[in-house]
Amino acid sequence: MVAMYVFCSNFFQEGNHVYDKLEVVQAYTKALRTWAQWVDTNVNPSRTRVFFRGYSASHFKGGQWNSGGNCNGETQPITNETYLSPYPWMMSILENVISEMKIPVLYLNITKMTDYRKDGHPSIYRIAGNQRNPGMYQDCSHWCLPGVPDSWNELLYATLLMSHQ
């Protein structure tokens, strides 16, 4: 008897094709195109409106959330556009996919708006009096209320009002 071991790592299937490797840009594009195809096939635009909220900035400095990144001491929004991050590559892919769709998509582009608000994250301030300790993860990808998420709701509301006219 022969023992056979199969070690699987990150295989992706699309139809009958199995990819043993899929780069992030390629995977993201495929995911969005799959979503767009589903919307174009299944949504009746006379009865349904499709909204897509864009990507929000995370503001980590010195790494990501699990590799030393932090947003210590960020208490003021960015007021000078030269300090904003470059426009994320994923937004260009999203905008391209949406532009090719048959069904209209109301795109809530919050990317630049959230980039200005580096002060809007809970960071270490989730618990009063908290101090940053080595190895402590910071939350620079979620948002505090009131603030940035409220603006998203206002943008959605304004879009609903405008699209209803």
Q: Would you kindly state where each structural domain of the chain is located, as residue ranges?
A: 46-164
Q: What distance in Å separates the CA atoms of residue 10 and residue 115, rounded to the nearest whole number?
A: 32
Give the pLDDT of residue 4: 45
Give tens-digit pLDDT for 40-92. 999 999 999 999 998 887 777 777 666 766 777 777 888 999 988 888 899 99
**pTM score of the predicted model:** 0.74
Q: Do 151 and 158 contact (CB within 8 A), yes or no? A: no
Nearest partner of 141 among 66, 86, 84, 90, judged by Cα: 66
| Maximum mean pLDDT: which of 89-93, 112-116, 130-134 | 89-93
| Maximum mean pLDDT: which of 1-10, 58-67, 142-151 | 142-151
How many other CB atoms are there within 10 angstroms of residue 120's CB atom? 24
Which residue has better confidence, 15 or 129? 15
Task: For the chain, state the CA radius of gyration.
Answer: 21
Give tens-digit pLDDT for 16-31. 888 888 888 998 999 9
